[in-house]
């Protein structure tokens, strides 16, 4: 059992969001359990309260807590991508109905912020050549979806 599980607060789309995320990441991703409000709960009896789900082996809880709180960029999920194909695939799926931001950040259709990060990024932004790293940072600052080849060529 995972000791710490991020809990994502939704107005009323917890199940829809969890199922969407599971479809995006596939593999070791699945909905594990769904609980429902009962007569003693503040929510409408019989509606979804929480959804426990797994994305790429990481456990999460989605909560239908009402409209009091919404997501902001102060918290995001950062995804380690093996290559450009994975960056492109996740970017396309997660921005559908959402919005692109800068430097590999996006908001999905539920307002949750994601960072779609190629695994090679730390090497390109650091390393022994400060001038090369500076050029890569400057190139990244002009991008929405990160382009590994363009970063390497900077």
Position 150 confidence tier, pLDDT thresholds 50, 70, 90: very high
Give, as one character, the DSSP assignment of residue 56: T
Model pLDDT for residues 96-114, shown as the tens digit of each residue: 999 999 999 999 999 999 9
Q: What is the pTM of this model?
A: 0.94
Distance, CA of 151 to CA of 50 (rounded, Å):
41
Sheet architecture: strand order including 58-64? 7-10, 58-64, 48-55, 30-36
- pLDDT tens profile 121-139: 999 998 788 999 999 999 9
Inter-residue contact 72 to 19 (CB < 8 Å): no
Q: Tell me if 1-69 shares its fold with 71-154.
A: yes
CATH code for the domain defined by 1-69:
3.10.180.10
Instruction: Specify the CATH class of 71-154 in words.
Output: alpha beta
């Amino acid at each position: 059992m995972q000791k710490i599980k991020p809990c994502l607060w939704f107005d009323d789309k917890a199940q829809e969001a969890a199922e969407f995320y599971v479809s995006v990441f596939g593999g070791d991703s699945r909905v594990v359990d769904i609980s429902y409000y009962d007569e003693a709960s503040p929510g409408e009896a019989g509606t979804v309260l929480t959804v426990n789900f797994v994305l790429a082996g990481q456990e999460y809880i989605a909560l239908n807590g009402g409209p009091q709180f919404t997501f902001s960029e102060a918290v995001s999920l950062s995804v380690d991508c093996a290559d450009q194909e994975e960056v492109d695939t996740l970017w396309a799926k997660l921005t559908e109905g959402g919005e692109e931001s800068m430097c590999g950040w996006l908001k999905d259709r539920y307002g949750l912020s994601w960072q779609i990060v190629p695994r090679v990024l730390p090497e390109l932004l650091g390393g022994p050549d400060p001038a090369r790293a500076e050029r890569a940072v400057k190139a990244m600052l002009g991008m929405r979806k990160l382009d590994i080849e363009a970063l390497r060529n900077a």
